[in-house]
Amino acid sequence: MRGLLTGVAIGLAIIALAVLGGRWWLDQRVTELLARRYDVPLTPLAVPTDSASRAEGERQAWLHGCHGCHDSQLQGKVFLDEPRVMRVVTPNIPEVIASYNDAELARLIRHGVRRNGTGVVAMPVGTFYETSDLDLGRIIAHLRAAPRVTKTLPPTRLYLLAKLAVLRGELLPEAATMDHRAPRLGDRSDTTQAWRGEYLAKSICGECHGPTLHGHLEAPPLARAMGYSAAEFTSLMLDGRSRDGRDLPLMGRTARSRFVRFTKQEIAAIYGYLMVMPTTPQHAAATPVSR
C-alpha cells in the first residue's frame, strides 16, 4: 500500500513538473516572439505647427479611431478584458510619445514599430499605412498638443489562450507580416473624388472591414452598402442607423462617436467608391496601384 502511494505521489509530482515546465517554456517562447525587432527605416515627415492643422489633425485622429481606443483624452484605457484570453490596455499617448521624435512616431503609426524596434500587436497599423504624409503630419501635430496627464492604468496581460495564439502565429505584430514597401494610397498625386473615396474607405473603414473592404470578423463586406441610397448611407455614417432599422451594435457606436466628423463631401466620396469598388478580393488585390 505504501509503495502504491509513493508511486502515485511520484507520478503526480512528475505531471506537476511537466505542467510547470510547459508553462515556463510557453512564457519564454511568447516573450521571445513578442520581443522580436523589426528593421524598418525612419523617414522624415513634415509636422505643421499652426492651429488650423492641429484642429484638422484632431478630426483625423477621431476618424482614424485613435481616440476610440486610447480614450477621448488619449490617456489610455482598458480596451479589452477577456478572461482566459487577454487584457489589452492602451497606453497614455502624450506620456509615451514624449520620448519619440516625429519620424519615429510616423513609423509607429504606419508600420507598428516602436522606438526600440519591437512591434505593437493590437493597433490597426496596416490601415494607417495608407494615410498620406499631409494627414499623418496633422495627426502628429494634434498628438503633440494633447495635455500630458498622469493616469494609473493596469498592465496588459496575455492569458493562456492568447499565449497559445502567439505561439501559433495568430497573434503577432502586424509589422511581422505587412509589406513595409507597398505603394501607399495616400501618396498618389490624385485629388479626384474617386481617389478620395477609396483613400478614406481603405485608411479608415479598412480597420474593421478588412484591407480590401471585403469583410473581416463581424464586419461584413462593404458591398453591403450597395443596398443603401445616398441619403440612407449618409444617415448610417452620421447617426449609425441601418436602412432597415436593424441594430448595428459596433457600427452604430463607431459612426456616432467617429464618423459624425466626416463632411458631406467625404461621405459622398466614400459612397461613390463603394458603389464601383471591385467585388471580389482577388480582383481588388490584382488592381494595379499607381503612385
Helices and strands in the chain, H and E counts: 14, 3
Strand 86-90 versus strand 157-158 pairing type: antiparallel
173 or 282, CB closer to ligand HEC?
173
User: Residue from 205, 210, 214, 269 that binds ligand HEC (CB under 6 A)?
Assistant: 205
Separation CA 96–CA 103 (nearest Å): 15
Which cell numbers hold the place of 132?
498620406
Which cell numbers hold the place of 291?
503612385
Q: What is the dihedral of CA 260, 261, 262, 265, to 10 degrees?
A: 100
Contact partners, residue 243, CB within 8 Å, separation at least 6:
227, 228, 229, 232, 235, 236
Contact partners, residue 50, CB within 8 Å, separation at least 6:
none
User: Residue from 208, 212, 214, 241 that binds ligand HEC (CB under 6 A)?
Assistant: 208
Separation CA 70–CA 44 (nearest Å): 25
User: Residue from 61, 141, 162, 277 that binds ligand HEC (CB under 6 A)?
Assistant: 61
Q: How far is the CB of 147 from ligand HEC (least distance, A)?
A: 15
Is the dihedral angle over the CA atoms 241, 246, 250, 251 positive or is it negative?
Answer: negative
User: Residue from 26, 33, 73, 79 that binds ligand HEC (CB under 6 A)?
Assistant: 79
Q: How far is the CB of 73 from ligand HEC (least distance, A)?
A: 13
Contact pattern for ligand HEC over residues 107 through 146, marking x by CB under 6 A: -xx----xx----xxxxx---x----------x---x---
Q: How far is the CB of 25 from ligand HEC (least distance, A)?
A: 23
40 is an interface residue for ligand HEC by CB under 6 A:
no
| Among 35-43, 59-67, 144-152, 179-187, the segment contacting ligand HEC (CB under 6 A) | 59-67
User: Residue from 45, 56, 64, 86 that binds ligand HEC (CB under 6 A)?
Assistant: 64
Residue recorded with cell 503612385 = 291
Phi, psi at residue 88, to the nearest 5°?
Answer: -105, 125
Q: How far is the CB of 212 from ligand HEC (least distance, A)?
A: 14
64 or 214, CB closer to ligand HEC?
64
Strand 77-82 versus strand 157-158 pairing type: unpaired
Separation CA 162–CA 122 (nearest Å): 12
Residues of this chain, 222-241, that bind ligand HEC according to CB under 6 A: 222, 224-225, 236
Interface residues with ligand HEC (CB under 6 A)? 61, 64-66, 68-70, 79, 88, 90-91, 93, 96-97, 108-109, 114-115, 120-124, 128, 139, 143, 204-205, 207-209, 218-220, 222, 224-225, 236, 242-243, 248-251, 254, 259, 270
